[in-house]
Structure 1
Amino acid sequence: MAFPLPRGITPPEIAFLAEMEMVTVVPRQRLEGLELLGGPTEPLQPPRRTTLPLWLALLLKRQRRANILPPSWLHPEPLSLILEIETKHQDYKDAFSPPPRLPGQPDVYERSAGARANPTPRRTLDGQQYFPAPPFLPQNVALSSAEATERSGDPPALPYHWLEVGNMLLDAASDDLVDPDQIRRLLKDLREVRMAKMRKGVDVLEAAASVGGGGGVAMTGVGAMEIGEGRGFVAGVVEGLRKIGASKEQARREQMAEERENRGYDGTQDYEDEMEF
């Protein structure tokens, strides 16, 4: 008998979606462009950089036809800063580090000063308006020198598919990374710290349910794999709290109905006693 599939998207499916992320490669051979569903790719001409989907970049890397340039956040220094924000910054003691800003969106410091925080819309070839979202944002491409200088003031941030992209690049292109062993340790530490925050958020939900008030967990900055891995646990806790709350509400209603019946019985008995008198 086949077991039922779990509700929601599974971690392998999340990793499959993360392969659509765009990364920067340095080709070793000349290759013609390809016609893909997402549009044509640029021809590969060494040593000019080219942006390709992650799945195609990994394929070329395994065939030794290209090298993958790590994104700006996948270095020991940015990961160490993000880990410090997650563990030592008072504003993010119980929250997650801020995600990368969307196109046209001000950074964290500008938002705190009251700047506009709405992303800039884009338009398709037929003129329809849309807002880009992961994985269709260039959050994992290697920045050029001009872009790095422009974004030098931005705080480091983890993209939506940080865990999947980091593990894939560590497995297939560790020789293209700077100190892969340290990057692997930092990614592991970040995952443990952020999962502990998610479990702590479940405690907040339980406390809010026990006192009868509403409560929630801020999920700003949470990655796709973190949501997929914690979905079953959090959903089970919420379902258990819902059943406990429903049983408490049912018991309260039964108690109120019993009290009303008792009050009605006492009043009727007194009235009959007065009539007999």
Structure 2
Amino acid sequence: MALPLPPGLTPMEVAFFCEMEMITVVPRQRLESLELLGGPTPVLKPPQRANLPLWLALLLKRQRRANILPPPWLLPTSLERILRYETETSPNAFSPPPPHPYAITARSAPTDTISPPFLPSSTDDAPPDYLPYHWLELGEILLEACSDDITDPGHVRTLLRDLREVRMAKMRASTKDFDAEDGGVNSLVGVGAMEVAEGRQFILGVMDGLRKLGASKEVARHEREARGEGGDLSEDDEMEM
């Protein structure tokens, strides 16, 4: 009998979907257009830049037929500014996601509008200082496959590790508000795909524990009401429970 699958995407599945992100390459030789499920790729003509899916860019890199341009947010100066925002400017919130490239109004919207996480946020013309939806896994893949194309890869790896630790600490700290009187709803705007996959089990465990604790309090309150002792629990009763 097969075991039930865990809820949500696993980290390996998230990394697989990350390979559909668009990345910019500089071809080293001419390559005709390829018919893919997502549409035809542009004709590669050195030294003109072109945007390709990450999986295809990695294949051409391994074959030494193209170089990969790191996205603007992966530059050390950009990562330093993002880390400064996370730790100093906004220590209790996540850095904002990349702005939407389309000017959408209430009356009309372009027919080719796309939404996160499928924004072209890792091409060479993407805005800097914004972490895309697949920032963590994309950074690790590029550092492993094309570190020679990245400026100061050792420093970039250190900055990515620091960002990961700071943001995971924020996600764990946000669970203390789950039992608040206003419902404990926390904003996850700016959280990446891999961060959600890695933190889901912990957050679900906290929520399940709070649900069980709330149910036991409700049962104790009904028992006290049945005995005519009032519905509020004292601190001693809560500690005993």
List per-residue Cα deviations over 1:199-240 (Å, max 9, x = no partner). 10012224x2xxx55212111110110011101110111011
Task: Tell me the CA shift for residue 93 of structure 1.
Answer: 1.6
Name the counterpart of 1:245.
214
In the alignment, is residue 38 of structure 1 matched against residue 26 of structure 2? Answer: no
Larger radius of gyration: 1
Q: Give the counterpart of 2:92 among 87, 91, 94.
A: 94
For 1:165, the aligned partner's letter is L
SS in structure 1 of the partner of residue 188 of structure 2: coil
Query: 1:109-128 counterparts in 2 under 5 A?
Result: 121-124=109-112
Task: Tell me the CA shift for residue 49 of structure 1.
Answer: 0.4
In the alignment, is residue 223 of structure 1 matched against residue 211 of structure 2? Answer: no
Whether the 8 Å CA contact 1:20–1:135 is kept in 2: the answer is no
Identity %: 59
Whether the 8 Å CA contact 1:26–1:50 is kept in 2: the answer is yes
List per-residue Cα deviations over 1:177-204 (Å, max 9, x = no partner). 0000000000000000000000100122
CA distance in 1, matches of 2:117, 2:211: 34
- TM-score norm. by structure 2 comes to 0.88
Query: 1:258-277 counterparts in 2 under 5 A?
Result: 258-259=227-228
CA distance in 1, matches of 2:85, 2:182: 30
Q: Would you say how many aligned residue pairs link Structure 1 and Structure 2?
A: 228
Name the counterpart of 1:182.
155
Query: 1:1-277 counterparts in 2 under 5 A?
Result: 2-89=2-89, 92-104=90-102, 121-124=109-112, 131-143=113-125, 156-206=129-179, 208=180, 212-259=181-228
Unaligned stretches of 5+ residues in structure 2: 230-241
Q: Does the C-alpha gap of structure 1 residues 117 and 158 become closer, same or farther in structure 2, counting only changes over 3 Å?
A: farther
Where has structure 1 moved over 4 Å in runs of 4 or more? Answer: none
Whether the 8 Å CA contact 1:24–1:49 is kept in 2: the answer is yes
Q: Does the C-alpha gap of structure 1 residues 158 and 117 become closer, same or farther in structure 2, counting only changes over 3 Å?
A: farther
Whether the 8 Å CA contact 1:21–1:135 is kept in 2: the answer is no
Whether the 8 Å CA contact 1:51–1:141 is kept in 2: the answer is yes
CA distance in 1, matches of 2:117, 2:95: 19
Whether the 8 Å CA contact 1:27–1:49 is kept in 2: the answer is yes
List per-residue Cα deviations over 1:35-87 (Å, max 9, x = no partner). 11110001111111010000100111111110000111000000000000100
Task: Tell me the CA shift for residue 103 of structure 1.
Answer: 2.1
For 1:57, the aligned partner's letter is A
For 2:111, the aligned partner's letter is R
Instruction: Select the structure that is richer in helix.
Output: 1
Whether the 8 Å CA contact 1:18–1:135 is kept in 2: the answer is no
For 1:187, the aligned partner's letter is L
CA distance in 1, matches of 2:198, 2:29: 39
List per-residue Cα deviations over 1:121-159 (Å, max 9, x = no partner). 3315xxxxxx4123431100002xxx8xxx6xxx71111
List per-residue Cα deviations over 1:237-273 (Å, max 9, x = no partner). 101101110111121122112218xxxxxxxxxxxxx
Unaligned stretches of 5+ residues in structure 1: 106-115, 125-130, 261-277
For 1:229, the aligned partner's letter is E
SS in structure 2 of the partner of residue 222 of structure 1: coil
